[in-house]
Amino acid sequence: MIKFPIIEDNGTINQFIDCWSRFYNYGGDEMYFRIIKNNPIKKDDIRELFKWKNGMRLAPLKDNSLETKIVPKLELINALKNDRKITFQTINENFKDVSAIWRIFLAHIIKPDEFPIFDQHVYRSMIYLQTNKIEEMKNNNQIKLHKYEHEYLKFFNSISLEITDYKKYDEAMWVFGKFLKQIRLKS
């Protein structure tokens, strides 16, 4: 008998995660899991995690930004990692010269269970889950930071107690957002 898989809608958050995270294939996850919980985090850890987030070797401008704006603040990063009352605003204020998505990823490195990964695909997923509309995020650092802090963290915190695996959640949101982009491009 031939089985034809289907994707059903209107499930729980964990059914959504199970369904969509199966299609995740970004690579380098072994390194991510090995490093993300390190405390203290080391220079090479930061470098490897940002290469992973970038999906490839860093271009010279990005590498320079990492080496001049993030790596020199390793002591602060580790202090924030151990601060139980850390807010995104604290990270935002201490890394003002870092691009929005990298600032958000740095927050994730500091507190992976409190600050989920965020990018255009995750944003697209969040908007669709809330409105059933496919919407793109404007390519503006202030808008990205505002959307993350005031919309996405609120969305995440409203469901986080139900999530059993935060990394799988990140994967599902990313994959679903990429899927939605393909739908939008074809329509």
Cα–Cα distance measured from residue 53 to residue 33, given in angstroms and rounded to the nearest whole number: 13
Which pLDDT score is estimated for 134?
A: 95
Domain tally for the chain? Answer: 1
Residues 43 and 74: beta-carbon distance below 8 Å = yes
Q: Tokens 């995104």 identify what position?
A: 88
Of 11-20, 35-44, 83-92, 136-145, minimum mean pLDDT range: 11-20
Question: Mind listing the pLDDT tens digit for each residue in 4-44?
Answer: 565 766 788 999 999 999 999 988 889 999 999 999 999 99
In a domain, 65, yes or no: yes
pLDDT at 11: 82
Phi-psi region of 10 (alpha: psi -120 to 50; beta: other; left: phi over 0): left
Q: Give the pLDDT confidence score for residue 6 in this predicted structure.
A: 56
Residue 28 is predicted with a pLDDT of 83
Domain membership flag for residue 7: no
Closest residue by Cα to residue 18 from 157, 187, 164, 181: 164
Domain membership flag for residue 3: no
pLDDT digits 0-9 by tens, 93-132: 999 999 999 999 999 999 999 999 999 999 999 999 999 9
Buried b / exposed e along 111-125 (16+ C-beta atoms within 10 A)? bbebbbbbbbbbbbb
pLDDT of residue 154 exceeding 70: yes
Indicate whether 6 belongs to any domain. no
Domain housing 87: 13-186
Whether residue 170 lies inside any domain: the answer is yes
d(CA 50, CA 58): 8
pLDDT number for residue 10 = 74
Which amino acid appears at position 173 of this protein?
M
Say if 4 falls within a structural domain: no
State the average pLDDT for the chain.
93
pTM of the entire structure? Answer: 0.91
Residue 62 maps to a domain: yes
Whether 173 and 125 have beta carbons less than 8 Å apart is answered as: yes
User: Residue 134: which residues within 8 A CB-CB, separation 6 or more?
Assistant: 124, 127, 128, 180, 181, 183, 184
Q: Which residues of 154-171 are buried (b: 16+ CB within 10 A; e: fewer)?
A: ebbeeeeeebeebbbbbb
Q: What is the pLDDT of residue 167?
A: 94
